[in-house]
């Protein structure tokens, strides 16, 4: 374990910046924490709960895949993939780090998504242990320890110092370059205990997944509560787009007159034109679409992924849903542990 003072952070960022772009949560003009590129003078926000998740760095909202041109019967295809630059993201919460376990299981299994893999290879995640969780936090429900996040490097913050520990080779290589002072973990343990105490007091601390998981499809699919829960849902994509684990995308084409750009962009299962097939849409009503989102996270995903749930309890959808419908309300109603 290594230690540095909070004041020396800028020096550290400057050091990392020599070889890679650094991103970290910075307050924007509305006072909301947003991942921003570090430059001299850019200050780390005290807030870890960013508006959008880290997902964007590895799986951007819009991404060009290829270009092609058709003339007569000839198709000229242009591979526009480029090697990603090295980058480091600092200040990632435990829940957001966990989201990559979920995304990796989708994108990195064969056939591997080379666009995503490329960015994963070049990205280093430096997590920071939570000290001030929000009332909307429920990572605990999914077995995440907010006080000991994963990531290539884990950082703990106390009043005046930061404690660094590398978890991966990539992390270790980076940490070695920083030449920090070595130290023991007593301060970190003290901080962990303090945070753990707070975690117990969170309003959603008792939320459990006991009635969800693989194999629950038959039991939950036809529950009448889906209808009442979905009744207020607007069918917008806010929850999907702020979610760190939602990974659905649509592939579209843009014809600029001189050629076609094939790109992908995020899609939402809440949208009426989601996964349109030859026969049209396979989920015609909002109830079906609403159910899909939650069944996927809480039943289908764990069923296919050794019981791992598709939600990390980051709480963004709780904060952002225009009509305050969210996964917690669904779990409590459908799971019956209200």
Partner 1 sequence: MQKISRDILVEKAISMLENGDVCSVLGWRKGEFDYDITPAVFTDKDDIKNNFVWNDFCGANFSKYLVQKTRKAEGKILVFLKPCDTYSFNQLLTEHRFDREKVYAIGIPCEGMVDINKIKEITGDGISSIDCGDKITVNTIYGDKFDIDATNVLSERCINCKSKKHVAYDELIGDEGEVLESNRFDEVTKLEQMTPDERFAFWQNELSKCIRCNACRDICPACTCEKCVFDNPKSGVENKAAANSFEEKMFHIIRAFHVAGRCTDCGECSRVCPQHIPLHLLNRKFIKDIDGFYGEYQAGDEVGSRAPLVNYTTEDIEAADIFEGRDN
Partner 2 sequence: MQRIGVFVCWCGSNIAGTVDVEAVSEALKREPGVVFSTNYQYMCSQAGQDIIKDAIKEHRLTGIVVCSCSPRMHEATFRKTAAAAGLNPYMVEIANIREQCSWVHKEMPIGTEKAIILGKAAVAKVNLNTPLTPGESPVTKRALVIGGGIAGIQTALDIADAGFEVDIVEKKPTIGGKMAQLDKTFPTLDCAACILTPKMVDVAQHEKIRIFSYSEVSEVKGFVGNFDVTIKKNARYVKEDLCTGCGLCTEKCPMKKCANEFNLGMDTRRAIYIPFAQAVPKVATIDPDNCNMLKNGKCGVCAKVCTAGAIDYTQKDEYIEEKYGAIVVATGFNPISMDKFDEFAYNQSKDVITSLEFERLTNAAGPTAGKLLRPSDGKHPETIVFVQCVGSRCDACAEKGKEYCSKICCMYTAKHAMLTRDKYPDTDVYVFYIDVRTPGKNFDEFYRRAVEEYGVHYIKGMVGKVSPEGDKLIVQASDLLADKQLKIEADLVVLAAAIEPDKSARSLATMLTASMDTNDFFTEAHPKLRPVESPTAGVFLSGACQGPKDIPETVSQAGAAAAKVIGLLAKDKLVGNPCVAHSNEMMCNGCSSCERVCPYGAITYEAKEFRMPDRTTLVRRIAVVNPAVCQGCGCCTVVCPSGAMDLKGFANEQIMAEVDAICK
Partner 3 sequence: MQVKEYKPLIVAFCCNWCSYAGADLAGNNRLNYPADVKIIRVPCSCRVNPMFILRAFQRGADGVILCGCHPGDCHYTSGNYYTRRRMALLFSMLDYLGIERERTRVEWVSAAEGAKFAATMNDFAEKVAALGENKRLEDLRCKK
Binding mask 275-294 for partner 2 (x = CB under 8 A): ---------xx---------
**198 counts as binding partner 1 under rule CB under 8 A:** yes
**257 counts as binding partner 2 under rule CB under 8 A:** yes
58 in Cβ contact with 113 (< 8 Å)? no
Binding mask 160-199 for partner 2 (x = CB under 8 A): ----------------------------------------
**335 counts as binding partner 1 under rule CB under 8 A:** no
**Whose Cβ is closer to partner 1: residue 188's or residue 318's?**
318
Helix, strand, coil share of the chain (percent; to 5): 35, 20, 45
Query: Within positions 143 to 182, which residues make up the interface with partner 1, using CB under 8 A?
Result: none
**Whose Cβ is closer to partner 2: residue 75's or residue 284's?**
284
**Whose Cβ is closer to partner 3: residue 214's or residue 259's?**
259
**228 counts as binding partner 2 under rule CB under 8 A:** no
Question: What does 251 bind: partner 1, partner 2, partner 3, none (CB cut-off 5 to 8 Å by kind)?
Answer: none
**Whose Cβ is closer to partner 1: residue 204's or residue 312's?**
204
Interatomic CA distance for residues 285 and 272, integer angstroms: 8
Interatomic CA distance for residues 283 and 307, integer angstroms: 25
Question: What does 71 bind: partner 3, partner 2, partner 1, none (CB cut-off 5 to 8 Å by kind)?
Answer: partner 2
DSSP 8-state secondary structure symbol assigned to residue 142: G
**260 counts as binding partner 1 under rule CB under 8 A:** no
Q: CA neighbours within 13 Å on the CB side: how many for 82?
A: 5
For the record, the structure tokens of 256 come out as: 């600029």
Interatomic CA distance for residues 105 and 148, integer angstroms: 22
CA distances from 120 to 45, 59, 116, 270 (A): 24, 10, 6, 28
Enclosing H/E stretch for 280 = strand 280-281
Enclosing H/E stretch for 88 = strand 87-92
* Bridge-based pairing state of the strands 153-157 and 62-71: unpaired
Candidate list 72, 79, 182, 277; residue touching partner 2; CB under 8 A: 72
In whole angstroms, how close is the CB of 258 to partner 3 at the nearest point? 7
Candidate list 43, 81, 132, 194; residue touching partner 1; CB under 8 A: 132
Per-residue burial over 156-177, b = 16 or more CB atoms within 10 Å of its CB, e = otherwise: bbeeebbbbbbbeebbeebbee
Q: CA neighbours within 13 Å on the CB side: how many for 147?
A: 15
Interatomic CA distance for residues 261 and 256, integer angstroms: 8
In this chain, which stretch among 81-89, 159-167, 249-257, 323-331 interacts with partner 2, using CB under 8 A? 249-257
Candidate list 75, 173, 265, 284; residue touching partner 1; CB under 8 A: 265
Binding site for partner 1 (CB under 8 A): 29-32, 47, 49, 51-52, 61-62, 132-136, 198, 201-204, 228, 231-232, 234-238, 240-242, 250, 252, 254, 263, 265-268, 271-273, 318, 320-326, 328-329, 332
Binding site for partner 2 (CB under 8 A): 70-72, 255-258, 284-285
């Amino acid at each position: 374990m290594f230690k540095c003072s909070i004041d020396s952070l800028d020096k550290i960022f400057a050091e990392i910046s020599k070889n890679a772009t650094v991103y970290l949560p910075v307050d924007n003009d509305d006072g909301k924490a947003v991942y921003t590129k570090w430059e001299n003078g850019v200050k780390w926000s005290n807030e870890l709960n960013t508006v959008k998740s880290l997902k964007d760095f590895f799986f951007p909202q819009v991404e060009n895949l290829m270009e092609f041109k058709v003339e007569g019967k000839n198709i000229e295809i242009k591979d526009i993939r480029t090697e990603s630059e090295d980058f480091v993201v600092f200040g990632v919460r435990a829940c957001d780090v966990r989201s990559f376990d979920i995304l990796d299981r989708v994108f990195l299994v064969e056939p591997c998504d080379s666009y995503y893999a490329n960015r994963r290879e070049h990205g280093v995640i430096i997590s920071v242990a939570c000290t001030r969780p929000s009332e909307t936090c429920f990572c605990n429900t999914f077995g995440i320890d907010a006080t000991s996040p994963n990531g290539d490097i884990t950082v703990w913050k106390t009043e005046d110092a930061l404690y660094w520990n590398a978890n991966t080779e990539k992390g270790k290589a980076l940490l070695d370059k920083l030449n920090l002072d070595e130290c023991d973990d007593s301060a970190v343990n003290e901080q962990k205990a303090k945070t753990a105490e707070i975690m117990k007091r969170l309003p959603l601390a008792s939320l459990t997944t006991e009635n969800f998981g693989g194999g629950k499809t038959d039991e939950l699919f036809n529950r009448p509560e889906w209808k009442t829960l979905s009744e207020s849902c607007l069918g917008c994509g806010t929850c999907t787009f702020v979610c760190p684990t939602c990974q659905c995308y649509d592939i579209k084409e843009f014809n600029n007159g001189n050629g076609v750009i094939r790109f992908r962009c995020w899609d939402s299962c809440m949208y009426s034109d989601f996964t349109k097939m030859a026969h049209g849409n396979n989920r015609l009503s909002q109830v079906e679409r609403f159910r899909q989102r939650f069944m996927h996270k809480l039943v289908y995903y764990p069923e296919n992924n050794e019981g791992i749930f598709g939600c990390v309890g980051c709480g963004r959808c709780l904060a952002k849903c225009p009509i305050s419908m969210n996964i917690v309300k669904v779990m409590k109603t459908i799971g019956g542990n209200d």
